Structure 1
């Protein structure tokens, strides 16, 4: 099967009905850069390419015979990657041409400008105030990489939308997309999701892209919506290291099998690294077995961590994961840019989606979240200890010192003894009278905890 036939064959077998035609029409000039749909099409291209090589019970390619799916998949990934990319682009071009000629595809209404935030508001005239402010609640976590030409207009819309639905939380908007976690009643979050999916800029999103957990508006002190350079603060210009260069996505089932294989083979002398790209205080209370968890305090330290540990990743297969998947998009792109790894994969949907399917899988302990809950639980394992007595404990609280924002693991017994600070320095400050000269100025995170931890650790396996 030649390239032209293969490209056409992909289009024949592609479930075009599952892709919203409005996306193609609305963003036809940007469609090739819409990661989710391009990735979906690429998987179809890859599968069709592999199927074209099968003769009887064997696959034949490059004058070699392959007896099992994993070997032919690995061969195609390593040898024919450029060809797959070219075929995907060709198939994509054909899809765009068909969409353009399809009379059934309609434009979005243009009688009102998209900048008008009120135009994209859900109708809540039939919803009582009680349903928006009382009743069962939840927190939703999501992100979407897409082109946003004027982030400030999306910020205005988000502010009005969340306020109208009585939602609290944090939303970051940038030219590269949107990242949010908001809480409220289930009625309100359902309306919020519906509004997001109805907006043409975010039409590429699906319901399953919104991760939900128990909670509500009380999980956040207020609502913060802002425009930023990055939707996840890695500290690297997204125009230089883009999410479009990220590693390959693995569904939770695929990631589970990879981890299972790694644990079965043993971590010693393995050519695979299971990499946690979260901060140390997140991985401390929950992580995958046999993972490499960098001792970093901020995600903006991750690029420097990679640079300092390149030899660690050289010629290795990397399985990367984070809370919801967003940090892996940029983190894996940065790792890929170094051209040292054999392969780079990331867990699609992050730990959150994995635990929904495998609550008793290979991730043990709590899942840290960035709100006033601090963590959510999917299993009963406690993998961390009290900072003072060493007993099993995984419930974070802020350091009791007035101006310290470090998190501390101090069990109930130790807290009753007054051991509520993150370190001896803060504990001494806690015993000083409030408002004294020595405690009157703000030195955020200036304590023993900060100074004792190297900013960029060098790891060994």
Structure 2
């Protein structure tokens, strides 16, 4: 048994428990808690029902191991699924390799859109979602990079503006992504219940997907769709934002981060921590921020272990390219 296997079994167990607590299309009830999003109920289950999660995890793990043992080489050769899915689990380029930094293109960038987004949310079958993405990329002629894991999705992709909009519509309509409240279909229900305008949905989509002008060739001609252990490679797949109830949900909006920065001035019990790599932090950073000398995010864990005395017991304001947290 490996840590990724245990994590998958635990996610599946909590997914089953979550479904048992669902009382409507977008409502979950357990104990004295009623909520309208899956991550909140995930955290409640992890905190209040760890005994049930542990028991169900054992059941799931046994089922996974039994299923793996019963799958014969003849079955795999017959349907060819293992060979077809290998592309989702192999490296796109050689280790330590990188993409070209120069681009020659005759496209009109005004006709295209580039989006960048990530979300930590429970995905029960990342491999199935990878297959769906491959079909979407072919249908819509999209390019880019997508990482999928049981803990969520991390993606940057490009294409004609209409194609990118269609991709967003398809993704946000999937049941696992409903709690983001970015679906046009769900918007009609919200409008009836609360009178929310289309402009409000448009702004939420803009803030989440961060669309910018650009042609599809910014990522070359190939799509990279991978199933991974972590959508941001920290090197700790055993950690989960859902299984640890101490994790704080969501990101700070700019105004709140600004207020906390002012609050932290001159105080020893606050730390402003830049978790980007050293060449990003050298370009620009917040005044007084600590900039760890790391080349890649997977080195951040070692940095924290070496500097526990510096960070222990303090309020930490952290930021990276993808957002601001505390």
Shift in Å, 1:139: 1.4
**Distance in 2 (alpha carbons) for counterparts of 1:134 and 1:293:** 35
The structure where helix makes up a greater share of residues is 2
Deviation by residue 1:55-91 (Cα, 9 ceiling, x = unmatched): xxxxxxxxxxxxxxxxxxxxxxxxxxxxxx88xxxxx
Asked if 1:316 is matched to 2:320, the reply is no
For 2:168 and 2:36, locate their aligned partners in 1 and report how far apart those are by CA, in whole Å: 25
Aligned partners of 1:134 and 1:158: how far apart in 2?
24
Matches within 5 A, 1:177-326: 177-205=152-180, 206=182, 207=205, 208-221=207-220, 222-237=222-237, 240-244=238-242, 245=244, 246-247=247-248, 249-262=251-264, 265-266=265-266, 270-325=268-323
Residues 312/33 of structure 1: CA separation in 2 closer, same or farther (3 Å cut): farther
Q: Which runs of 5+ in 2 are unaligned?
A: 1-23, 29-34, 49-106, 183-204
- The structure, 1 or 2, with the larger RCO (C-alpha pairs under 8 Å, 6+ apart) is 2
CA distance in 2, matches of 1:37, 1:133: 45
CA distance in 2, matches of 1:229, 1:33: 24
**1:253 & 1:156 partners in 2: Cα distance?**
39
Q: Unaligned regions of 5+ residues in structure 1, if any?
A: 1-20, 26-30, 42-84, 87-131, 329-344, 347-461
Q: Is the 2:270–2:316 Cα contact (8 Å) retained in structure 1?
A: yes
C-alpha separation in 2, matches of 1:204 and 1:166: 27
Q: How many residues align?
A: 208
Secondary structure of 1:163's match?
helix
Alignment of 1:105-116 (within 5 A): none
**Does 1:167 find its partner at 2:165?**
no
Q: Distance in 2 between matches of 1:233 and 1:139?
A: 23
Shift of 1:134: 7.8
- How far apart are residue 176 of structure 1 and its match? 1.4
For the 8 Å contact 1:174–1:227, the answer to whether it is kept is yes
Aligned-pair distance for 1:229? Answer: 1.0
| Rounded Cα–Cα distance in structure 2 between residues aligned with 1:133 and 1:321 | 34
Q: Contact 1:278/1:299 (CA < 8 Å) preserved in 2?
A: yes
How far the C-alpha of 1:157 sits from its partner, in A, is: 0.5
Inter-CA distance 172–133: structure 2 relative to 1 (3 Å threshold): farther
Return the offset for 1:36.
Answer: 6.2
TM score, norm. by length of structure 1: 0.41
Q: CA RMSD in A?
A: 2.9
Deviations 1:164-195, CA, capped at 9 Å, x for gaps: 11211100111112111111222121111111
Tell me if the contact between 2:37 and 2:179 (Cα under 8 Å) persists in the aligned partners.
no
Matches within 5 A, 1:376-455: none
The alpha-carbon deviation at position 38 of structure 1 amounts to 7.6
* 1:34 has 2:38 as partner: yes
What TM-score, normalized to structure 2?
Answer: 0.57
